[in-house]
Amino acid sequence: MVLQKVGQLQPSGNEAPSGGYSEVSVRADGKYAVVGSKWGLSGSYLIDLGDPANPKQVHYLDNPDDAPNLDVKFDSRDGLYYRAIERHHPGNFEIVDYGHENGSPANPTVVGTISEEKSHNVTPHPTEPVLYTVNYRLETNGFDVYGVNDPTNPNKLGEYGPQGAAHDITVDPEREVLCCFYQAGEFIGIVIYDVSEPWKPSEIGRFDYLERKSYSTAQVGEEAFGSAHHGHFDPRRELLLVGDERPQGIPGGKHVFDVGWKDGSLSNPIPVGFTISPNAQRMAEDDFAERFDWTGHHFSIVPWGERTFIVSADWHEGVVIYDITDPKNPNPVDRYPTDDEIDSLTPNDTVAQLGEPPMAWTARYDAERELVVASDTFTGLYTFKLVTR
């Protein structure tokens, strides 16, 4: 399996492109992508993917408080997306109408806002009007639940999880489960919840990283646990894929957990496989330009015939494909360094501190169109096709 580049776009706001791109999300029908901002930028970009070889910017929606909109996600209802707010702003997240009732793709409007500190990542339930948010603060519960039936009036329904810096959430509507990933605090690891009532999660299992070998005592490539970052349930097998992200030292890898495949369960996840990025090496402890370089980041699972892959944005690796057909032996099989057209970009000062591209942030797989959409904080949005060797 190899990645074949189809198209690329460097979105622009009020000035010429200068990097600072973050999360990318793809609408379920594959027609649109939305791109967030960080590293010296604010705002969000809606991208038309009608022609994957020629993605087009439909709108840029700025943020008047100059706050990064790091995470962006589409709602299951057409015409709505969410964008998280982090600093310089009293908000938590905003709901953007780009065609639901009040806005249009070319003229979006913010219709709902929550102002309770901040959100780092937001996860809409795939079928119900419920939004899960993580605030990434050590002194609070792991995640919040909001009712968003009325996008103009989101309301908080509760707080859940052990205290600590929860980083992200994934929801599997078929299994009716949710997994929350903790990077720091009183608990580090993963907690699994029953969400048969999406607005009222109930814990059913957890895996405590602090009881396992730490990256601080490991060598590059050796299975270790720390800074649980992101993950997904395998849609066809009773497996959970979890990525660890570490900014320095030994880079974090990807774990395969048995949650019913053989001896494991949702109440007792068992690690059965581990892999790292193809060029992984120890990262400098005190050089900002080498932070995150070889650690894992956001990924998607790709069911492909009788095989299963991960397509992942792994920072300085660019976009990487991993074969996880054998859960006990996951391994990288191809990569694409997302450093194209850097000559047409003048990175802003904050982005420039990260060193040189590629610095890939997210890779999303859209099964409807068999399309991979990725973002690089320097070079923007990419579209890829997967090609069997």
Per-residue pLDDT band at 238 (split at 50, 70, 90): very high
Of the candidate ranges 11-15, 85-89, 177-181, 314-318, the one whose mean pLDDT is the lowest: 85-89
Q: Which domain does 134 fall in, by range?
A: 2-387
β-bridge mates for residue 191, sequence order? 180, 206
The 10 Å CB-count burial string (b at 16+, else e) for 272-305 is bbbbbbbebeebeeeeeebbbbbbbbbbbbbebe
Averaged confidence pLDDT in the chain: 95
Per-residue pLDDT band at 88 (split at 50, 70, 90): low
Average pLDDT for 329-356: 93
Per-residue pLDDT band at 139 (split at 50, 70, 90): confident
**Hey, what are 219's tokens?**
């060598």
Average pLDDT for 25-32: 97
Cβ contacts of 355 within 8 Å, gap of 6 or more: 289, 290, 293, 316
In terms of Cβ atoms closer than 10 Å to its own Cβ (0-12, 13-18, 19+), residue 75 is buried
**Hey, what are 81's tokens?**
């997306």
Average pLDDT for 21-33: 97
Q: Tell me the pLDDT tens digit for each residue of 245-276.
A: 999 999 999 999 999 999 999 999 999 999 99
Distance CA 46, CA 289 (A): 29
Average pLDDT for 313-340: 98
Q: Tell me the pLDDT tens digit for each residue of 36-72.
A: 999 988 999 999 999 999 999 999 999 877 889 999 9
Look at residue 15 in the predicted model and tell me its pLDDT: 81
Looking at the 3D structure of the chain, how many domains does it have?
1
Q: Locate all alpha helices (DSSP H) within the chain, ordered by sequence.
A: 349-352
- Report the CATH number that the domain containing residue 72 is assigned in CATH: 2.130.10.10
**Hey, what are 69's tokens?**
């909109």
CA dihedral of 379, 82, 109, 56, whole degrees rounded to 10: 30
| Angle, CA 134 vertex, CA 319 and CA 364 arms, to 5° | 25
Cβ neighbours of 174 (radius 10 Å): 9
Look at residue 71 in the predicted model and tell me its pLDDT: 97
Look at residue 311 in the predicted model and tell me its pLDDT: 98
Average pLDDT for 314-339: 98
Look at residue 90 in the predicted model and tell me its pLDDT: 65
Going by C-alpha positions, the residue among 265, 146, 127 that lies closest to residue 200 is 146
Distance CA 227, CA 250 (A): 12
Q: Is 161 left (phi over 0), alpha (psi -120 to 50) or beta?
A: left
